[in-house]
């Protein structure tokens, strides 16, 4: 499991579509009930009521609330507090004080900070260091929009440099403070190969999970985070050899030290999470 206690494929679901809640939860490792972008202003109240009434497993459910400057922020928090759910995703997080507001309104809240503005990127270290924060996600499109850009990707589909910088900084902050890093959604729903390739990079880079806006991305994500049979076999053999040979040793012609052992442990842990 990730530090969030969930698997690697997280699926957003509009908060005003309770008819989809269970299906989304069944399809993914965790569902993110969305009270922010996926819900229009006229449907916010209905979405809050639906979240309060939802009977999903709290261990596999996250509720995304609006950003702290939104008119309905306090109403979102009140809805979460009245629900069985305690993992809260804070949209457009920019300060530890905003996390404090979540914790004050939702007793026992476990907060996932969603960093998707320039201010949020610059404040990511104190955000992630907050004791109530269990994970950090980044968002590419809102981030680029916050600095006046029009697209986070170039014509080839690769992230522009500013998005790569933000992604890297958020990942490093998560690692520095022992929190789960969640990679951004992919908006190209039809490109399943691209979704898989991006998730492969996320897993190899150190992200603990990746978010999706369509259930068709769940399988490519899970497959990407699951080690191949060859990778798992090698990792297990390296760890077995380490038990018999303390310290640095040679394994099939290459040196193995503690960083390599940590890589191997990560491979085994991911396999365990996904039942491999």
Q: How many domains does the chain have?
A: 2
pLDDT at position 182, please? 97
Do 154 and 81 lie in a common domain? yes
Q: Kindly state the tokens that stand for 195.
A: 């979704």
φ, ψ (nearest 5 deg) of residue 138: -120, 155
Please check whether residues 234 and 179 belong to one and the same domain: no
Domain assignment present for residue 164? The answer is: yes
The domain of 270 spans 229-274
CA dist list (Å): 219 to 79, 196, 215: 31, 9, 8
One domain for residues 128 and 37:
yes
Cβ neighbours of residue 75 closer than 8 Å, sequence gap 6 or more? 44, 45, 48
Q: What is the pLDDT of residue 3?
A: 57
Q: Which residues are documented as binding site for substrate? A: 64, 116
Answer yes or no: do 124 and 76 share one domain: yes
Q: Is residue 4 part of a domain?
A: no
Same-domain status, 262 and 156: no
Cβ distance 202 to 222 under 8 Å? no
Using pLDDT thresholds of 50, 70 and 90, give the confidence band for residue 4: low
163 and 115 within one domain: yes
162-187 pLDDT tens trace: 999 999 999 999 999 999 999 999 99
Same domain, 81 and 135: yes
For residue 32, the domain's CATH number is 3.20.20.60
- In this prediction, residue 12 has a pLDDT band, given cuts at 50, 70 and 90, of very high
141-156, pLDDT tens digit by residue?
A: 999 999 999 999 999 9
Task: With respect to residue 1, please indicate whether it lies within any of the assigned structural domains.
Answer: no
Q: Which residues are annotated as a binding site for Mg(2+)?
A: 116, 142
Give the annotated binding-site residues: 64, 116, 142
Q: In this structure, are 267 and 216 located in the same domain? A: no
Q: What's the confidence (pLDDT) of residue 1?
A: 44
Last residue of a domain, one of 225, 244, 264: 225
């Amino acid at each position: 499991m990730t530090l969030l206690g969930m698997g690697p494929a997280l699926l957003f679901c509009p908060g005003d579509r309770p008819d989809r809640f269970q299906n989304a939860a069944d399809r993914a490792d965790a569902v993110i009930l969305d009270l922010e972008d996926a819900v229009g202003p006229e449907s916010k109240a209905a979405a809050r009521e639906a979240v309060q009434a939802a009977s999903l497993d709290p261990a596999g459910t996250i509720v995304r609330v609006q950003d702290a400057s939104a008119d309905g922020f306090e109403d979102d928090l009140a809805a979460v507090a009245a629900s069985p759910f305690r993992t809260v995703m804070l949209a457009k997080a920019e300060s530890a004080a905003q996390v404090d507001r979540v914790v004050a309104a939702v007793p026992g809240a476990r907060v996932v900070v969603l960093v998707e503005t320039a201010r949020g990127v610059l404040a990511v270290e104190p955000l992630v260091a907050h004791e109530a924060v269990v994970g950090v996600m980044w968002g590419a499109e809102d981030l680029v929009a916050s600095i006046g850009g029009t697209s986070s990707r170039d014509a080839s589909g690769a992230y522009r440099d500013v998005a790569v910088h933000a992604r890297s900084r958020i990942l490093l902050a998560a690692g520095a403070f022992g929190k789960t890093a969640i990679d951004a959604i992919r908006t190209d729903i039809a490109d399943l190969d691209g979704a898989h390739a991006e998730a492969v990079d996320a897993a190899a880079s150190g992200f603990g999970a990746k978010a999706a806006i369509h259930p068709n991305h769940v399988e490519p994500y899970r497959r990407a985070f699951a080690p191949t049979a060859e990778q798992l076999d090698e990792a297990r053999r390296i760890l077995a050899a380490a038990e018999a040979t303390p310290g640095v040793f040679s394994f099939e012609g290459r040196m193995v030290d503690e960083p390599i052992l940590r890589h191997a442990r990560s491979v085994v842990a991911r396999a365990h999470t996904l039942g491999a």
